[in-house]
């Protein structure tokens, strides 16, 4: 066992990857040949029949990664060429193919969460699937659906925020989209993988009800979307490693009980126990195959000690279990028709610069994908403040503008592994969930293009220099200040700006808040753009010289065009916060545990806050955040009326009218929150519905949301089932978790 201090310095996928560099001319390939979807039953039968033809070596080859330095993809297994089974290619990441070239840098999960648009969640899934398929990848290693338990959690931006319902909907739509083009999706990280510090072994203790209602819920929705695989996490759950935890991954564990029919794959090096421990608990495939210091290599044998082959030989793992492992892996592969006409792998993750004979330089980018990335960038931008008359801007009416901040410029695209830099505009966090930055269009480029030819005098200070920024702004009609904060995956690198994966605090980086305040002190028309992976402290929001604020989040490669669309009104903002923005961590009732505990080991983290994350906690404790969950302004206004609540079988159908009563077209995001009967012990309000309602000025629409029986239930531990509590439920319909426009009950 290595010392935890050493472990914490060691990365996993980070050892694999070299950051991608700028693209070259590459041939095009249209992604997504047709395929025939099979039923689970038929697929199982095909898999079962195939397993009967395999030798033991072939079976072991199909369940064991081939090694991180010999994988053409981030993960591979050995092929069985004589039966037409390829060496499955499993590849990062949840926001686009990496590390390679000719791919789109899609916005990450938190951005699509911020759109509150199932349409865009699904479309992003389809586009991701098309690019993975076009590269010949069998499995997309996403979506991530770990709740943002703490606002500073390093990988929080990879998934969909702190609310389980939004995570569940986004997971469902993403899985459905990816798999609709025949690519397998992988729900991760199972489970309670909610901070980076000590993640390789921390012990998360989550009570049964909290587990079901919060952390497990998005996985349940993934099963309902027919997800092909689930990735077990690095951490321990209830004292047993996730990949060795039969209560989670075994035949009688959570997933299989709920009908999961695909395979369980380990996170890279997340196997901390013996081959038989893991295989017998329910692990079907181990990645990356070799021992990588934090774990791994158990199926192949670590330092020649033990192996799956010897365990099958001795009977420690039965042949029946071995066959089941292979069947679980082949079943979703048959289901998605990958046995016929699937494109072969055409890139090489070992040569992320595109060099070498195995990189065939196939581009899977398309105008559609670029347009979608831009649409999500715009639709995820949250308008937090807009003094009347400020936004949208009219370029020709602006005589002078200062554009200020390091966050305006293109970042170093060659900053080492996994985008572990913040030296320009922030479009996505770092780590295996990041993506290739080849085609980033930074804000300065898009802004310059917009002002070109308008007669506007553009002055810039493209750093966070506290003297140059205000000097550039002084005397200008308008100042646009761009600032950011970033986080990522704990990796091989020590830290980024002193942050080891998780953010150290909620402050904007590089004196960003001081820059904002110093600029606003000299310019009475200061617009602030915040790029961040999660909530940040913005002490200056009430400053009267700050006339507009856009929380632009982590918008992906089309960051500049997406921002310009919103600033200049081509897109009327409809993004909503997928978390609350409070001033400090204590408002969220959780902490990142950085102390390993004594004696030196891995910390035990008890999820004592239970169901009370984010707005669920703040509502219960009368904490007023600066901006609440679900908040976001528009350039128009909406009126709500006519709430009606009707039972339909065991469901409740809630309908109401939304009217655009302003003067420009816009999209409203109505939200439905339920208040349970007090005895149920639920938070005051829980999200149970949302919709995207585009409306022309003056137009109105009836919106209908259905809450099914499970949506009105609590997880009842004694009966191990969803039970609807007796009593009256309150219905809240509104424009955010605190801007409730209609009230009712049933």
Ligand X SMILES: *[C@@H]1O[C@H](CO)[C@@H](O)[C@H](O)[C@H]1NC(C)=O
Catalytic residues: 267
Please give the structure tokens belonging to residue 600. Answer: 């030196």
661 is a site residue for ligand X (CB under 6 A):
yes
Nearer to ligand X, 7 or 523 (CB): 523
The mark string for 229-268 relative to ligand X (x by CB under 6 A, - otherwise) is ---------x--------xx--------------------
3-class state of residue 94 by DSSP: coil
| CA–CA distance, 280 with 251 (Å, rounded to integer) | 10
Nearer to ligand X, 346 or 737 (CB): 346
Cis before 189? omega within 30: yes
637 is a site residue for ligand X (CB under 6 A):
yes
484 is a site residue for ligand X (CB under 6 A):
no
Nearer to ligand X, 484 or 634 (CB): 634
Q: How far apart are the first and last CA of the chain?
A: 57
| CA–CA distance, 559 with 561 (Å, rounded to integer) | 6
Q: Which stretch binds ligand X (CB under 6 A): 131-139, 480-488, 588-596, 679-687?
A: 588-596
| CA–CA distance, 584 with 507 (Å, rounded to integer) | 9
Smallest gap from residue 512 Cβ to ligand X (A): 17
Nearer to ligand X, 28 or 621 (CB): 621
590 is a site residue for ligand X (CB under 6 A):
yes
Q: Which stretch binds ligand X (CB under 6 A): 262-270, 423-431, 527-535, 589-597?
A: 589-597
Residue 200's region, left for phi above 0, alpha for psi from -120 to 50, else beta, is alpha
Smallest gap from residue 591 Cβ to ligand X (A): 5
From candidates 39, 542, 648, 719, binder to ligand X by CB under 6 A: 39
48 is a site residue for ligand X (CB under 6 A):
yes
User: Cα dist. 435→98, 114, 172, 231 in Å?
Assistant: 5, 19, 22, 19
Cβ contact 309:56 at 8 Å: yes
Strand-pairing partners, residue 654, are: 645, 705
479 is a site residue for ligand X (CB under 6 A):
no
Smallest gap from residue 642 Cβ to ligand X (A): 12
DSSP symbols for 401-464: EEEE-GGGSPPPTT-SGGG---SS---S-BSTT----TT---HHHHHHHHHTTTT-EEEEE-S-
Smallest gap from residue 32 Cβ to ligand X (A): 8
589 is a site residue for ligand X (CB under 6 A):
yes
647 is a site residue for ligand X (CB under 6 A):
no
Q: Which of 623, 645, 721, 725 is nearest to 682 (CA)?
A: 725
Smallest gap from residue 49 Cβ to ligand X (A): 7
| CA–CA distance, 690 with 704 (Å, rounded to integer) | 10
Binding to ligand X in span 506-565, by CB under 6 A? 520-524, 543-545
Nearer to ligand X, 238 or 310 (CB): 238
Tokens 């990450």 label which residue? 108
568 is a site residue for ligand X (CB under 6 A):
no
Cβ contact 383:550 at 8 Å: yes
210 is a site residue for ligand X (CB under 6 A):
no
| CA–CA distance, 312 with 480 (Å, rounded to integer) | 65
Contacts of 633 (CB under 8 A, 6+ apart): 383, 384, 385, 386, 573
Q: Which of 100, 184, 555, 120 is nearest to 364 (CA)?
A: 100
586 is a site residue for ligand X (CB under 6 A):
yes
390 is a site residue for ligand X (CB under 6 A):
no
From candidates 33, 208, 273, 708, binder to ligand X by CB under 6 A: 208
From candidates 2, 6, 639, 696, binder to ligand X by CB under 6 A: 639
Nearer to ligand X, 301 or 716 (CB): 716
Nearer to ligand X, 489 or 738 (CB): 738
Nearer to ligand X, 486 or 516 (CB): 516
Nearer to ligand X, 361 or 390 (CB): 361
Buried b / exposed e along 64-91 (16+ C-beta atoms within 10 A): bbbbbeebbbbbbbbbbeeeebbbbbbb
Q: Compute how many residues bind ligand X; rule: CB under 6 A.
A: 42
Smallest gap from residue 501 Cβ to ligand X (A): 19
Buried b / exposed e along 470-490 (16+ C-beta atoms within 10 A): bbbbeebebbbbbbbbbbbbb
Contacts of 432 (CB under 8 A, 6+ apart): 12, 13, 14, 17, 74, 92, 93, 141, 268, 418, 489
By residue count, the chain amounts to: 746
Smallest gap from residue 728 Cβ to ligand X (A): 26
The mark string for 433-472 relative to ligand X (x by CB under 6 A, - otherwise) is -----------xx--x---------x-x------------
Cβ contact 617:588 at 8 Å: yes
Neighbours of 589 (CB within 10 A): 20
651 is a site residue for ligand X (CB under 6 A):
no
280 is a site residue for ligand X (CB under 6 A):
no
From candidates 5, 30, 34, 52, binder to ligand X by CB under 6 A: 52
From candidates 91, 138, 287, 359, binder to ligand X by CB under 6 A: 359
176 is a site residue for ligand X (CB under 6 A):
yes
Residues of this chain that interact with ligand X (CB under 6 A) are 24, 39-40, 45, 48, 52, 176, 207-208, 225-226, 238, 247-248, 354-355, 359-361, 368, 444-445, 448, 458, 460, 520-524, 543-545, 586, 589-591, 609, 621, 637, 639, 661
């Amino acid at each position: 066992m290595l010392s935890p201090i050493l472990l914490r310095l060691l990365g996993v996928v980070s050892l694999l990857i070299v950051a991608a560099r700028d693209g070259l001319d590459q041939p095009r390939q249209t992604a997504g040949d047709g395929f025939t979807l099979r039923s689970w039953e038929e697929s199982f039968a095909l898999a079962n029949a195939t397993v009967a033809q395999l030798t033991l070596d072939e079976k072991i080859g199909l369940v064991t990664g081939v090694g991180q330095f010999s994988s053409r993809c981030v993960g591979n297994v050995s092929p069985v060429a004589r039966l037409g089974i390829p060496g499955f290619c499993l590849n990062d990441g949840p926001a686009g193919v990496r590390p390679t070239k000719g791919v789109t840098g899609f916005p990450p999960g938190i951005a699509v969460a911020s759109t509150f648009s199932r349409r865009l969640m699904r479309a992003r899934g389809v586009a991701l699937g098309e690019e993975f398929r076009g590269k010949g990848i069998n499995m997309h290693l996403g979506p991530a659906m770990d709740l943002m338990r703490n606002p500073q959690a390093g990988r929080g931006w990879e998934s969909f925020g702190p609310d389980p319902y939004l995570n569940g909907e986004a997971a469902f739509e993403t899985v459905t989209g990816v798999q609709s083009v025949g690519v397998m999706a992988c729900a991760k990280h199972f489970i309670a993988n909610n901070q980076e510090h000590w993640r390789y072994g921390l012990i998360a203790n989550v009570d049964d009800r909290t587990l079901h209602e919060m952390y497990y819920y998005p996985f349940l929705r993934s099963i309902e979307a027919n997800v092909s695989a689930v990735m077990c996490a690095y951490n321990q759950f209830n004292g047993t490693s996730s990949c060795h935890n039969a209560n989670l991954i075994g035949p009688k564990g959570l997933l299989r009980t709920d009908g999961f029919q695909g395979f369980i794959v380990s996170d890279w090096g997340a196997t901390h126990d013996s081959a038989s421990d893991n295989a017998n608990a329910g692990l079907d495939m181990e990645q990356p195959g070799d021992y990588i210091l934090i774990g791994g290599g158990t199926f192949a044998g670590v330092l020649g000690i033990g192996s799956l082959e010897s365990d099958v030989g001795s009977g420690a793992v039965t042949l029946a279990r071995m066959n089941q492992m292979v069947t679980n892996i082949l079943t979703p592969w048959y289901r998605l028709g990958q046995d016929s006409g699937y494109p072969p792998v055409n890139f090489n993750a070992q040569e992320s610069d595109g060099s070498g004979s195995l990189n065939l330089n196939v581009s899977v980018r398309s105008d559609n994908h670029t347009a979608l990335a831009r649409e999500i960038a715009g639709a995820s931008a949250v308008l937090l403040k807009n003094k009347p008359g400020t936004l949208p801007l009219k370029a020709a009416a602006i005589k002078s503008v200062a554009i200020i901040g390091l966050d305006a410029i293109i970042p170093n695209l060659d900053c080492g592994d996994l985008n572990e830099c913040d030296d320009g505009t922030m479009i996505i966090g770092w780590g295996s969930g990041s993506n290739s930055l080849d085609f980033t269009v930074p804000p300065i480029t898009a802004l310059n293009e917009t002002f070109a030819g308008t007669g506007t005098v553009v002055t810039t200070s493209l750093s966070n220099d506290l003297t140059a920024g205000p000097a550039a702004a002084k005397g200008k009609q308008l100042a646009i200040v761009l600032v950011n904060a970033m986080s990522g995956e704990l990796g091989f690198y020590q830290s980024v700006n002193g942050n080891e994966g998780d953010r150290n605090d909620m402050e904007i980086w590089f004196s960003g808040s001081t820059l904002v305040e110093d600029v606003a002190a000299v310019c009475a028309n200061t617009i602030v753009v915040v790029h961040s992976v999660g909530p940040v402290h913005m002490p200056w929001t009430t400053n009267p010289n700050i006339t507009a604020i856009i929380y632009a989040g982590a918008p992906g490669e089309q960051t500049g065009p997406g921002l310009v669309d919103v600033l200049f009104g081509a897109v009327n903002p409809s993004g909503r916060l997928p978390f609350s923005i409070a001033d400090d961590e204590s408002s969220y009732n959780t902490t990142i545990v950085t102390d390993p505990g004594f004696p030196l080991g891995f910390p035990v983290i008890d999820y004592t806050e239970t169901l009370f994350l984010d707005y669920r906690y703040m509502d219960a404790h009368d904490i007023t955040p600066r901006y609440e969950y679900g908040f976001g302004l528009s350039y128009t206004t909406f009126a709500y009326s006519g709430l009606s609540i009707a039972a339909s079988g065991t469901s409740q159908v809630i309908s109401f009218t939304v009217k655009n009563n302003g003067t420009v077209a816009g999209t409203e995001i109505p939200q439905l929150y339920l208040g349970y009967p007090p005895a149920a012990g639920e938070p005051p309000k829980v999200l149970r519905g949302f919709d995207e309602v585009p409306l022309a000025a003056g137009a109105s629409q009836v919106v209908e949301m259905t809450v099914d029986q499970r949506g009105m239930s609590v997880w009842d531990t004694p009966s191990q089932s969803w039970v609807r509590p007796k009593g009256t439920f309150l219905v809240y319909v509104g424009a955010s978790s605190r801007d409730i426009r209609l009230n009712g009950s049933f």
